[in-house]
Structure 1
Amino acid sequence: MAKVYPQEPTSPPYSSFGPETYTLWMKSLVCHSNGCTVYDSNGAVVYRVDNYDTKGRRHVNLFDLRGRVLCTIHKKLLAFGRWDVYRGNDNSNRKIQTQKPWFQVKRCYKMITGKVTCQITKECQKYCIEKTGSKTAFRIVGIDGDIVADAKQKHSSSGVVLGNDVLTLDVLGCIDHSLIMAFVTVFGLICGRL
């Protein structure tokens, strides 16, 4: 089940940089496992995360449609609330310890609202993910304050609000979509949804 609609995607999802609207279904395509599935605006599966045993694993992989590992997310055991994300498919412990992370994520809380947020550092670039409005809504903001992506609970074309596990993600900026999906995956782990 790779498609919801019959149209073929025009380009591989990992090379997308323009604006796009995705549907995030916070469920795995594999029965009785945790994860999420990401559909593009044509209804094709473009990204997926599958945790076969339990939520909140130390190592989680983000896959594209073809099953290629785009990145490995590794939770640091001795650093409270910190995740390192490595590009590619080599997730052995020895390689992770010597390889430089693609980006790092640090969990933090807003003291006034008590909401979970996280700070992302990718080389000299910085991003922040913050919850907005409803229980599941969030947005990704660049260091300059520009919104890069915005997620909110999905509504059907007839206006029916879908469940808390179905979100619409609007990627607004010219940014690598696989990077945005890696951000979303880490945030799902932080919030205990994956």
Structure 2
Amino acid sequence: MGKVHPQAIVSSPTYNITSKQETFTLWMKSLVLNGKGCTVFDSNGQIAYRVDNYNSNHRDQVHLMDQRGNTLFAILKKQYKLSRFWEGYKLPATRNDRKGPSFRVSKTYSISKWDSTYEVELGLDKNKPYNYKIKRSACKSSYKISDKFGVIIAELRRKKSTCGIDLGDDVFTMVVEPNIDLSLIMGVVVAYNLIKSKM
């Protein structure tokens, strides 16, 4: 039987700000038996990030972890009046950190029922807010994250094998552009999939 966890790596890569375009495989499954979550592999097939929810009946809070199991973000479900959203809190918190969330992901409502845009508010913990948008494609099998200028910074689409076979509804290729905080983008992707009830 294969091991659930990767072997200890002497010099493990640190995923923070990208210096070049990065490609990941996002598998919407937890490595924990009967758990909910997702596992993210880098281009070398090593685990980069993971979400394991041991209590699949209670999904109001999940934790994004790095390859060693260190928690990067606590992602919590929130509700204010009629609106529901997810907020990400950066961990571990230091003495100088504010208690507020680092980001918030919510659905933007419009007259068109076909509109599938989601608002991402970032920098809330530093009082330097800026926005991203998540836009799902018409075929519903991919989505893009863009900055306030409309520049695409990350894109997710269903993964295909080298011979073009679709690997299923729960396996995605995620391409992230340079100079982007990978853990933050991953936190936003997790929050979006929680809104869509994908994990």
If the TM-score is normalised by the length of the shorter chain, which range does it land in? 0.7 to 0.9
Aligned residue for 1:118? 118
Aligned residue for 2:29? 27
Letter in 1 for 2:53: N
Alignment of 1:1-194 (within 5 A): 1-2=4-5, 11-54=13-56, 57-79=59-81, 80-89=83-92, 99-123=99-123, 124-194=129-199
Instruction: Please give the secondary structure, in 1, of the residue aligned with 2:37.
Output: strand
Letter in 2 for 1:30: V
Structure 1 segments of 4+ aligned residues over 6 angstroms from their partners:
7-10
Q: Which segment is superposed worse, 146-155 or 77-86? A: 77-86
Post-superposition Cα deviations, 1:3-32, rounded to whole Å, max 9, x if no partner, equal 5xxx99862123545310000000000011
1:135 CA displacement:
2.9
| Alignment length (residue pairs) | 185
1:108 CA displacement:
2.2
Instruction: Please give the secondary structure, in 2, of the residue aligned with 1:164.
Output: coil
TM-score where L is the length of structure 2: 0.83
Letter in 2 for 1:161: D
1:109 CA displacement:
4.0
1:113 CA displacement:
4.8
Q: Evaluate the alpha carbon distance shift between residue 149 and residue 64 of structure 1 in structure 2; reply closer, same or farther with a 3 A threshold.
A: same
1:89 CA displacement:
4.1
Report the identity percentage: 36
Q: Which segment is superposed worse, 45-54 or 128-137? A: 128-137
Aligned residue for 2:126? none
Post-superposition Cα deviations, 1:116-158, rounded to whole Å, max 9, x if no partner, equal 3311111332101111143331110111000010110001112
1:173 CA displacement:
3.6
Alignment root-mean-square deviation, CA: 2.4
Runs of 5+ in structure 1 lacking a partner? 91-97
Distance 2:110 2:158 in 1: 22
Distance 1:9 1:159 in 2: 34
